[in-house]
Chains A and B, each alone.
Chain A
Amino acid sequence: MEKMNTENHIQYIYGIADNSLILGQRLSQLCGHGPTLETDIACTNIALDLLGQTRNYYQYAAQCMGESATEDTIAFLRTERQYRNVLLVEQPNTHFGYVMARQFLFDVYHLLVVTQLQESTDSMLAAIAQKSVKEVQYHQRFSAAWIKRLGDGTAQSHQKIQEAINDLWKFTDELFYQNEHDIAAIHAGVGVDVSTLKESYMTTVTEVLTEATLTIPAETWFRKGGKEGIHSEHMGYLLAEMQYMQRTYPDMKW
C-alpha cells in the first residue's frame, strides 16, 4: 500500500462529507414547506441523517488536522472553492420533483459508496460508514418509492419528474470522477474506488426509472467541477446563508 499524506486524507473526507452537508442544507430549507406534514417530517429525517453523518466526518477530520479545527470551522469557514461536494447536491429545490430526483440520483450512489467504505483500512471511516449504511438504505427506499409514484402517477407528475431527471442527469457522471486525493486515498486502502461503482449505479437507476415508466436521458454531455471546488452559481448563495452567523460574528461560541 502506498502512503497518503494528511492533506490527501482530509480532502478525501471532505469529498464524502461535503455531499452530506450540502444536501442536508438543501433539504432543511424545505422544513415546513412540504406537500403534506408526513412528507415534511420524512424529508427532515433524511436531512437529520445527512447532517449527523457530516458531523461525524468533520469531527474526525478536525481531529486529523489538530490545532484549532472543529466541525464548525470546517462546515462554516471554508471558501466556496474549498468545498468538495458534487454539483448534483447543491442544485436548488425547484419543485418536489427536483427534490426527489436529486435525492434518488444521489442516494443510489451514496449507498454504494458507504457500503464499500465499511471495508476501509481507516477504522474511523469504516465505523462512520457502517452507521450510515442503514440510514442511506432508507433514503434510497424513500426516494425510489417517490420516483415511482411521480413517474407512474398522473400525466402532470410524469412530465414534472421526467423534466427533473432530464435536467439533473448531466450531474450524474461527476459522481464517478476522482481527483488526486481520491486516488491517493484509494491507493492507501482508505478510499473507495468509485469508478468501479458506475455499472451497479446504472443498473439500479435504470431499474427504478423503468418501473416508474420514465426514460433514461440520452444526454451524453456531462458537467463536473464540484469535486475540484468549481461549483455552480447556486453554491455561493447557499454558503452565504449557511455561513451568515459565523461570518458576521467571527470567533464566538454559540
Chain B
Amino acid sequence: MKTENLKDRAILFEQKIARDEKIEPKDWMPEKYRKTHIRQISQHAHSEIVGMLPEGNWITRAPSMRRKVALLAKVQDEAGHGLYLYSACETLGVTREELYAQLHEGTAKYSSIFNYPTLTWADIGAIGWLVDGAAIINQVPLCTTSYGPYARAMVRVCKEESFHQRQGYEIMTILANGTKVQKEMAQDALNRWWWPSLMMFGPTDAESVHTAQSMQWKLKRKTNDALRQQFVDQTVPQADILDLQIPDPALKWNPERKQYDFGPIDWEEFWQVVKGHGPCNQERITARVKAWEEGEWVRDAAVAYADKQSDATLQKAI
C-alpha cells in the first residue's frame, strides 16, 4: 500500500471511531490499534484468571453452604470472563496459547490487586465489594468501546458481574452486624484492601502514558483519576452503612467540589507490586504455570483421540 493511501485510511479509520462505528476483526486497522488492543484485552483476560486464585483460596473453607455455592459460581464466572476476553483477543490474530506464554514468562501484566493474599473470610467480602466494585467502574464504559468483539465480551461480563459485588457487600453486611470478632475481621479486611483497590485505577493522569490515545479509541471514557474519584464517592457511603472506618485520616467530604477528598496513594508500593514484588506475585504465576503444565497430557490426549475419531469416520465414509 502506498503511504498516501495508508494515511487516508488512518484518517478514515479515526473518523469511523469518532462516529461511534465499531471496528470488526477483518476491518483494516492501524498496527498500533491492534497492538494496543491485544495488550489491554489480554491484560484484562489474565486479570480474570489470576483473579480466580485469591478467591479460589476460600472456596473449600467457605463458612456455609450458601456462601460456598455463591463463591464457587463467582470464581467460575471469572474463568468464563477470561475465556470471553481471550476469545475477543484471538480475533486480533494472536492465540490464547501465545497469550498464556506471555503470562507464564512474566512478560504480560495483570491487575496487581490479585497479588495480595486473602487471609480471612472477610477478604472474600472485601474483594467482592471493593475490587469488583472498582472493576465494574472500569468495565462498564468498555461496553461501548470501539472494537466490536471487546465491547460484546464486556457486555456479557458486566451482565454477569452484577451479582459479584452484591455478593461481597452481603458478606460484609453480615460480618459488620455480627459478633465483635466478625466486625473486627471485616474492618481488618477493609484496612488491607482499601488502598490496593484505589490503585486499581492505575497511575494518576499526569503519570499515565496511554490515556490520550486510549480515550480516542474509546478504550477509556474517563481518566484514571476521574474513575478513582467516582469509586471513592460511591464507596464511602457504603462503608458508613456498614459502620466501618475507611483507613484514610485525610478522607473528608468537600462541599465545594461535592466530592470526597482523600489522602495520597503510596505509589511506591504500587510500582513495587507491578514489578513483581507484591506479596503473592510468584505464587500466582507458579499456580497458573502448574495448572497449564500438568494439563498438557490431558490436552494432548483429547487431540489424539479426536484425530483417531476423524480417521475412523473417514474410513467409514469410504
Query: Which residues does A use to contact B, with CB under 8 Å?
Result: 25, 28-29, 31-41, 44-45, 47-48, 51-52, 54-55, 58, 71-72, 75-76, 95-96, 148-150, 152-154, 156-157, 160, 241-242, 244-246, 249, 252-254
Contacts and interface: CB of A to CB of B under 8 A. Distances in A.
14 contacts: A28-B59, A31-B56, A31-B59, A32-B75, A35-B292, A37-B86, A39-B295, A44-B72, A48-B73, A96-B294, A153-B305, A242-B60, A242-B61, A249-B179
A148 B35 CA distance: 41
B182 interface: yes
Contacts of A51: 65, 68-69, 72
Contacts of A58: 65
A238 to B, nearest CB: 8
A72 B291 contact: no
Contacts of A32: 49, 52-53, 56, 75, 79, 287, 291
A50 to B, nearest CB: 10
User: Which label, helix, strand, loop or mixed, suits the secondary structure of the B interface?
Assistant: helix
Contacts of A35: 291-292, 294-296, 298-299
B295 A153 contact: no
Given A33-B290, A72-B65, A245-B62, A39 B121 contact: no
A152 B308 CA distance: 8
Given A51-B68, A54-B65, A152-B305, 13 more contacts: A29-B59, A31-B52, A35-B299, A36-B295, A39-B298, A96-B295, A150-B298, A153-B304, A153-B305, A154-B301, A156-B297, A157-B300, A252-B181
Given A153-B301, A249-B181, A252-B178, A28 B60 contact: yes
A33 B287 contact: yes
A154 B304 contact: yes
A254 B301 CA distance: 43
B65 A71 contact: yes
B69 A29 contact: no
A177 B51 CA distance: 43
A102 to B, nearest CB: 15
Contacts of B174: 253-254
A132 to B, nearest CB: 15
Interface residues of B, number: 48
A37 B73 contact: no
A55 B65 contact: yes
B1 interface: no
Contacts of B202: none
Nearest to A21: B65
User: Which label, helix, strand, loop or mixed, suits the secondary structure of the A interface?
Assistant: helix
B82 interface: yes
B83 interface: yes
B120 to A, nearest CB: 9
A42 to B, nearest CB: 10
Interface of B: 49, 52-53, 56, 59-69, 72-73, 75-76, 79-80, 82-83, 86, 121, 171, 174, 178-179, 181-182, 287, 290-292, 294-305, 308
B60 A148 contact: no
A34 B304 contact: no
Nearest to A156: B297
B295 A48 contact: no
- Top 3 A-B pairs ranked by shortest CB distance? A35-B295, A153-B301, A157-B301
Nearest to A40: B79
A41 B79 contact: yes
A156 B59 CA distance: 32
Contacts of B64: 72, 76, 254
B301 A150 contact: yes
Given A154-B300, A245-B63, A148 B72 contact: no
Contact of B69 (A52, A241, A246): A52
Contact of A37 (B65, B83, B290): B83
Given A32-B75, A51-B69, A149-B302, A37 B61 contact: no
Contacts of B290: 33
